[in-house]
Structure 1
Amino acid sequence: MKHFIVVLFLMLFITVNGSLHAGDSGSAGDCAKGDTAYKKLDNKTALEFYQKALETDPKNYEAAWKLARAYVDVGEQLPDKKERRLHYEKAYEYAGKAVEINPGGSKGHLFLSIAIGRVALDAGAKEKVRLSKEVKVEVDKALAIDSQDDSAWHVLGRWHRTLSSLSWIEKKFANIFLGGVPKEATMENAVESFKKAIQLNQTSINHHLELAKTYDKMGEKTLAVQEYHEVLELPIKDADDEDHKKEAEERLKKSE
């Protein structure tokens, strides 16, 4: 009888322990499948796998920030403004969860800044300026943790360009929410931030496109044209690169 109880206990332990490891493996496995879909530029499938991974293991930091990224990526392709915003708000939710799971991880803060920034793009002047403060707080945290993240430098570049080229009504809201337009927000700092992003990831089409658009705003047409040509020559790596190339081509026609 004693021998039977020992055997039963061991079988129960193996079953429970195996189930726990299977759960971990399931979450990691779904995350890996999401990565595979992401590399194939299939963001919707990637989103589904990251969602499953996080449901299996709610403390999976990697699944949380990658799910936030997926919601941004899918949202960017949606033509309907309300649908886009819903996706960006989901991205905000899961990026916030990633920060909650691991406050010391850079990616949670990065995608929190990106999600807020995407909401701001479709927002009115008042909300756009108010949200810019949150974008800066989160991207600064991301860079403080990992200064070699090219995407974070890209976000910072867009922040500088946006804040340094506000309309008169947006400047009024900046006085209310920011105490005026931040002195550090300049086109020159935008250029330096995009250049840093390119230094860290030279084949990113989006980095080159945003640098070109910044040069355009500064009246540096020759430099802008060089970057637009670079965009057209680089290979497609991300799901929205095709759109970036089309935008560069259209802007190039107007510049030349």
Structure 2
Amino acid sequence: MSRLSLPAKSVLLAVGLAAGHPRAGWAQGTTTSPPSLPALPEAISPAPGAKAGPRAGASAAPDSVALREYLRRAAALQAKFKDSEALAAYEAALRVQPQHYGSLWRAAVLSVSIGNRYSDETRKSAYFAAANQYASRALEVQPQAGESNYAMALALFSQAGLLSARDRLRIFKQLRPHVFLAAERRPDMPEAWQLLGRWYYRVAHYNVLEKFFSRVFLGGYPQGASSKKAMEAMEKAHELDPTRIQYSYDLARMYKYQGYRRRAIAVLQQAIKLPTYTSEDLTINRLCQQLLPPLVRATSRRDRLHARWYEQLRSREKPAARE
């Protein structure tokens, strides 16, 4: 058999990547948690640790009645799960103070949350691109902060779902430092742990072609990811906020894929009892209800098989004991 030329290999690799990984859509399919609600009213001054200099000085604009009103309105709208109106309020606040850190990273996260609701990829792409821009501006103000890095990681992660396989691999490598810094700087932020868990799981399940492409064309694929780390990160998110049904659903599916059926069942049984505040919550609740019965049946079958095997073992041991 003649050896394939490099162009031929590249064509085959592209075809293989386009075919996708059997669980490639797992990370993209899970929902993203809404941002944590801000305090009322949100502080106007820069976050602690901001760099001194012209940029930090520009961020510390004088307090204004208009700015405080926009921030108060945005927080109130978020509390009512009115994301589009809240985003508009943050955008209004940014027109007053373009480098207001809290408004920038929250606008990025809200843009992703709104974009995820559209089935039209054009609209999705527009919102995700806007999220990337807001996150980039937040990083300029606070490059080492947890919130700005979470916003950038989330924007990149969301954009990856609309890209080709090779571009998606590039994005997953690019967002690595952001998602790690988010969890490190804001260990109290459950959405950062959720995103880290999803990143761990997706990278841990790169197939052979994805690993080969990453090594040859991207200088290597991200190291250190594993299913165990993914579950630990998702468990952390669930521990920090057990009322978020998104965390329960993601964690249950990880348990299921790794063979921990009883853990998955316990998480799902609690999840279906959680209150649903939004249409997204209701959708995930239904998905939890669909996921639970097959797991219960599979566990029951396994228990019956184990009980039968145990009885057979005991019946064999009794004659031997009499002898």
The TM tier, using the shorter chain, reads 0.7 to 0.9
- Unpaired stretches in structure 1, ≥5 consecutive residues: 1-19
Q: 2:127 aligns with which of 87, 92, 99?
A: 87
Does 2:106 align with 1:43? no
1:229 positional shift: 2.0
Name the counterpart of 1:249.
289
Deviation digits for residues 47-103 of structure 1 (CA, Å, limit 9, x no counterpart): 111111111110211111111111011011111122112111111110111111222
Where do 1:11-22 residues align within 5 Å?
A: none
Alignment-derived partner of residue 110 in structure 1: 150
Q: What is the aligned partner in structure 1 of residue 186 from structure 2? A: 146
Contiguous gaps of at least 5 residues in structure 2: 1-60, 297-323
> Distance between the aligned counterparts of 1:128 and 1:147, measured in 2?
27
Deviations 1:131-184 (A, max 9, x none): 1122211012222322222111111100111011123332222323251452x2
RMSD, aligned CA: 1.9
Give 1:239 shift: 5.9
Give per-residue Cα distances to partners, 1:219-254, cap 9 Å, x unaligned. 222222222222211123566222221222222244
Letter in 1 for 2:218: F
The one-letter code sitting in structure 2 at the alignment partner of 1:54 is: L
Q: In the alignment, is the contact (CA less than 8 A) between 1:43 and 1:70 conserved in 2?
A: yes
* Aligned residue in 1 for 2:220: 179
Q: TM-score, normalised by structure 2?
A: 0.68
Q: 1:231 to 1:177 in 2, by over 3 A?
A: farther
Whose helix proportion is higher, 1 or 2?
Answer: 1
Worse-matched range after superposition: 160-169 or 112-121: 160-169
Residue 181 of structure 2 aligns to which amino acid in structure 1? K
What is the correspondence of 1:7-86 to structure 2 with a 5 Å cutoff?
A: 24-86=64-126
1:163 equivalent in alignment to 2:171: no
TM-score (structure 1 length as normaliser) = 0.85
Q: Is the 8 A contact 1:24 1:57 kept in 2?
A: no
> Which fold has the larger relative contact order, with Cα–Cα distance below 8 Å and residues 6 or more apart in sequence?
2
Looking at structure 2, the residues matched to 154 and 172 of structure 1 have their Cα atoms a distance apart, in angstroms, of: 27
Matched with 1:200 is 240
**Which amino acid letter does the alignment assign opposite residue 199 of structure 2?**
W
Larger radius of gyration: 2
2-structure distance, mates of 1:63, 1:74:
16
Give the number of aligned pairs.
Answer: 235
CA contact (8 A) 2:173 2:221 kept: no
- Do the aligned partners of 2:83 and 2:110 also contact (CA within 8 Å) in 1? yes
1:126–1:186: structure 2 CA closer, same or farther, 3 Å change rule?
same
Amino acid at match of 2:247: H
Query: Given that residues 144 and 181 in structure 2 are in contact (C-alpha distance below 8 angstroms), is that contact kept between their aligned partners in structure 1?
Result: no
Percent identity, aligned pairs only, is 23
In structure 1, C-alpha distance between the alignment counterparts of 2:127 and 2:135, rounded to whole Å: 12
Q: How far apart in 1 are the matches of 2:140 and 2:157? A: 20
**Candidates 117, 131, 136, aligned match of 1:96:** 136
User: After superposition, what is the alpha-carbon deviation per residue over 1:24-58, rounded to whole angstroms, capped at 9, x for unaligned?
Assistant: 22122112211111111111111111111111110
Do 1:161 and 1:187's aligned partners in 2 also have CA atoms closer than 8 Å? yes
Task: Give yes or no for contact 1:164–1:181 (8 Å, CA) kept in 2.
Answer: no
